[in-house]
A and B are shown apart, each in its own frame.
Chain A
Amino acid sequence: MRRSDLQAVVGGFQAEILQLRRSPLFVFLTIVQAITFLLLVSLFGLTGSSAPVALICKDTGPYARTFISTLESTHHSFDLKEMDLASATAALHRGDLVGILTIPEDFSQSVLFGKDVTIRIDIDNVNTDMTDDVQRGLPSAIVRFGQQLHLPDLHVRVVEQDLIPHDTGYIAYLVVSGLVLNAFVIAGILSATAIAREFESGTIKLLSLAPTSAFFPLAGRAAATTVFAGGALLLPLAIVVFGYRIVPVHPMAAVGALMLCTALFSCLGIVLGALLKRTVPVASLIVGMSLPLYLCSGALEPERYDGEKLWILGHLSPVYHAVGVVQMAFHGLKVTPESTSVNILALACWLVAMLALAAWLLRRRTP
C-alpha cells in the first residue's frame, strides 16, 4: 500500500465518522435495533421456560414429595404451583394455566407396594408444543424418580386429559401468528416509506404549493398503500391455506381480521413515516420492531403462559389482540383471556387512535 492510498483510507475513515456523527437518528435507530435483538432472545428464553402448571397433591406420603421435587428438577418448562382442585380448574378454563397435574392420594402406597399408579394431567392443548412437553417431561421425571429411589418395579402411568377437543400443530399455530407479523411488515413499510419519501425527495413542498391541502394527496397515497398491502397479504394467506393446508375455521373472520390489521399497521406506518421523514431508517425501524412485538404478543404460545408482567406488557401492543383474533379465526382457539369481541374492539380502538394520530401528524408536518 502506497502512502497516498493510506491517506485515502484515513480520509475515508474521517469522512464516514463525520457523516455518522451528523446522522444521529440513523445511528440511534441502528443501535436500538441491536438492543431489540437482545430483548428478543431474552423474551424467547422467558417465554419458553415457565409454563404455569397447577399441582394438586392428594397424597401426604413421602414418595409424593420426592416425586414433586424430581419433577421440578427434571423439567424446567413447568412453573409448578400447588393449588386446590377448584381454583386450579377455574384458572385452567380462564387461561391462566397450561395444565393441572394431579397426584392421587394412594401414590406413596402404590409405589411402595409396586402397584399401578395413575397420574392425571389436564392440559390446555392450545398447541401441540405444550402437549409434547408434557408427554416428554413426565415419563422422564418418572424414570428419574425410580432411579433415585431404586424402585425397579415402578408402575406409574400418565393419563392426559385435553381441554380442547382438537389438537393444533405447533407449526400451524406459529404460521397463523406469522400472518399478523406479515401484515405488520408489509403494511407498515409500504405506508411509512410512501410518506417518508415525500419529505426525503422534497415533493412535499410541491404538494404544499397546490390549492388543495397536502394532507389529501398524502391520504390518497396512504390509502393506496393500505389497499396494496391488503392485496399483498393475500399471497402469505394463500401459502398458509394451500401450502400449509391450514383452512380457517371462520374464513370471513380470518380475512376481516387480517384486513383490520392491515389498516391498523398502515396507519402506524404513516405515523412513523411522518415522524422520521427518512425511508431507510423508518423501514429498518419497522423490521426491528416487528420481531419483539411478535414475540411479546402471544405469537409462539398464548401470552398468558409467559407470566403476569409479560402478559400485561403484551397488552401494550395491538399485535397481542391481533394474534388472539386470528388464532380464533383460523384454529378456533381462544388464546387470550379476553373474548374475541373484546380483542376486535381493542383493535378497532387502536385503528381509530392511529388513524387520528396519522391524520393529525400529516396535517402538522405538511407546510
Chain B
Amino acid sequence: MVHASLLPSEFAVRFEGVSCRIGKRTVLEGVDLAMKQGEITGILGPNGAGKTTLLSIITGLRTPHTGSVTVLGERVSARHPELYRKIGVVLQETALYDELTTFENLQFAASLYGIAAPRSRIEAVLQRLDLSDRTRQRVGQLSGGMRRRVILARALLHSPELLIIDEPTLGVDVEARHTIWSHLRVLRSFGTTVIVSTNYLDEAIALCDTVAVLRAGRVIVSDTPEGLVARAGSCLDIECTAGAGEALKAALVHTEGVLRTQLTPTGLSVFLQGSALPDPILRTALQTTTIRGFRMRGADLAEVFHALEPLS
C-alpha cells in the first residue's frame, strides 16, 4: 500500500484520514490514499463501496467531514475553480445535451474552459477518440458507447493534467470497452494522471498501474494489479462429485501453495499462490478421487474480496 506520508510532489492526489457521511450513513471512513502522478489508479469496489463519493471529494462536489485531500498540490475543501482548469471529469451519468450535435456539445464545453480557437482543439480530440465521423450527429442519436466517448472527449478538451473517470466502461460493449482502455493508456503515455473507479476486476487489472480496493467506505488494500492477483491467487476449478470434493478439500489442507479451498456446486475451487503450479494439486486429486475435469482461471472480484477479508 502506498503510504500518504511520501513526498507530495510524487502524487497527484492524497487522501489523509478522510471520512464522509451522506445523511446519517458513513460512506467513507478513515481513507488514507495517495495516487501517483502519470499513472492510472483504479478504485475498485462493489456498488455502494464509496467509489463515487471518493471521486466527488477529489472534484470538490462533496466535502469530507474529517481529514484532508490534496489534488495537484492544492488543498481541496470545496469547489475549487482554478483546479478545474487542470482536471477533467467523466461522471457516471452520461450528462450531455441530446438535442445538440457532438461538435456543439464540445463547443459549449470549450466556452466553459475559455479555450481559444476551439474548433481545431475539438477536431483533434474527436479524431483521437475516433469520433470524427460523428461530429455532426445529434448526441441523442448516439449509442451508449459513443456517448461515453463524447463525455470523455469533453473531459479531455482542455488537456487536463488529471483525468477522473467514474465507471469508464459502464454499459458499453466489449469493443468500445477496449477502445476506451486504449485511449486511457495513450493519455498515460502523454503523462496524464488518470483515476478510474470500476467494479470490474479485469478492467482494473488490464488498465491500472495501482489499484485501491474499497469496501464499505474503507480502503482495504492498495497495490499493483499483479500484487492484487497474487493476494487473491489463481484458481483451479476441479469438477467432481460433492463427496469427492469434500475428500479432496481435506486432502489439500496442508498442501504447499494452496491459499484456500472452496466447495462449489460442480466440485472444488482451489486458490493457489501467484507462483504456485497446479500440477501437485492435480496429482493429489487424481490419487484421492475421480475427477471429471479441471480449468485454471484468475480470481473474480468476489474471490478477491474473500481473499482480502482478513485485511478489512
Binds B, one of A32-40, A205-213, A241-249, A297-305: A205-213
Judge whether B113 is part of the interface by a CB distance below 8 angstroms.
Answer: yes
Considering only CB atoms, which chain A residue lies closest to B78 in the complex?
A: A367
Contacting residues of chain A (217-267) with chain B, CB-CB under 8 angstroms = 217
Check if A24 is an interface residue, CB within 8 A of chain B: no
Q: Count B interface residues, CB 8 Å.
A: 21
In the complex with contacts A203-B95, A205-B91, A210-B79 CB distance below 8 A:
no
With CB as the reference atom, state the residue of chain B lying closest to A197: B97
* Interface residue stretch chosen among B68-76, B81-89, B300-308: B81-89
Size category of the A interface is 10 to 19
B61 near A211: Cβ-Cβ < 8 Å: no
Q: Check if A203 sits within 8 Å of B97, measured CB to CB.
A: yes
Beyond A205-B61, A207-B112, A367-B61, is A213–B95 a contact (Cβ under 8 Å)? no
The residue in chain A whose Cβ has the minimal distance to the Cβ of B85 is A211
Q: Which residues of A contact B84 (CB under 8 A)?
A: 209-211
- Answer yes or no: B143 CB below 8 A from chain A CBs: no
Which residues on B sit within 8 Å (CB–CB) of A202?
Answer: 91, 93, 95
Instruction: Please encode chain B, from 81 to 114, with 1 for each CB lying within 8 Å of some chain A CB and 0 for all others.
Output: 1101101010101011100000000001101111
Residues of chain B within 8 A (CB-CB) of A212 are 81, 112-114
Shortest Cβ gap from B99 to chain A (Å): 10
Q: Is the CB of B59 within 8 A of A209?
A: yes
A211 contacts B59, C-beta separation under 8 Å? no
Q: How far is the CB of A200 from chain B (nearest CB, A)?
A: 10
A4 in contact (CB, < 8 A): no
Shortest distance in angstroms between B198's beta carbon and chain A's nearest beta carbon? 20
Instruction: Give B203 Cβ to nearest chain A Cβ, in Å.
Output: 23
B113 and A211 contact, CB distance less than 8 A: yes
Chain B residues with Cβ below 8 Å from A7 are none
Would you call A209 and B95 a contact (CB within 8 A)? no
> CA of A203 to CA of B87 in the docked complex: distance in angstroms?
17
Chain B residues closer than 8 Å to A367, beta-carbon distance = 61, 79
- The docked-state distance in angstroms from the alpha carbon of A345 to that of B108 is 37
Asked if A201 is at the interface (CB within 8 A of a chain B CB), the reply is yes
Q: A205-B91, A367-B79 are in contact. Are A210 and B61 (CB under 8 A)?
A: no
User: Closest chain B residue to A213 by CB distance?
Assistant: B81
A217 to B93, CA, bound (A): 20
> Is the pair B81, A205 in contact by a Cβ cutoff of 8 Å?
no
Q: Is the CB of A217 within 8 A of B112?
A: yes
CB atoms of A209 and B61 under 8 A apart: yes
Query: Among residues 170 to 216 in chain A, which have CB atoms less than 8 Å away from a CB atom of chain B?
Result: 201-203, 205-213
Shortest Cβ distance from B206 into chain A, in angstroms? 27
Kindly provide the distance from the CB of A82 to the nearest chain B CB, expressed in whole angstroms.
64
A211→B82 contact, CB < 8 A: yes
A206's contact among B85, B87, B91, B111, by CB below 8 Å, is which?
A: B91
Most chain A CB neighbours (cut-off 10 Å) among B61, B82, B154: B61
Instruction: Give chain A residues whose Cβ lies under 8 Å from the Cβ of B82.
Output: 211
- The reply to whether A205 and B95 contact each other, CB–CB distance below 8 Å, is yes
Name the residue on A nearest B83 (C-beta): A211
B113 and A210 form a contact (CB under 8 A): yes
- With A209-B89, A212-B81 given, name 4 new contacts (CB 8 A): A206-B154, A211-B82, A211-B85, A211-B113
Q: Point out residues on B near A: beta carbons under 8 Å.
A: 59, 61, 79, 81-82, 84-85, 87, 89, 91, 93, 95-97, 108-109, 111-114, 154
24 pairs across A/B with beta carbons < 8 Å?
A201-B95, A201-B97, A202-B95, A203-B96, A205-B61, A205-B95, A206-B89, A206-B109, A207-B112, A208-B61, A208-B79, A209-B59, A209-B61, A209-B84, A209-B87, A210-B84, A210-B112, A211-B82, A211-B84, A211-B85, A211-B113, A212-B113, A212-B114, A217-B111
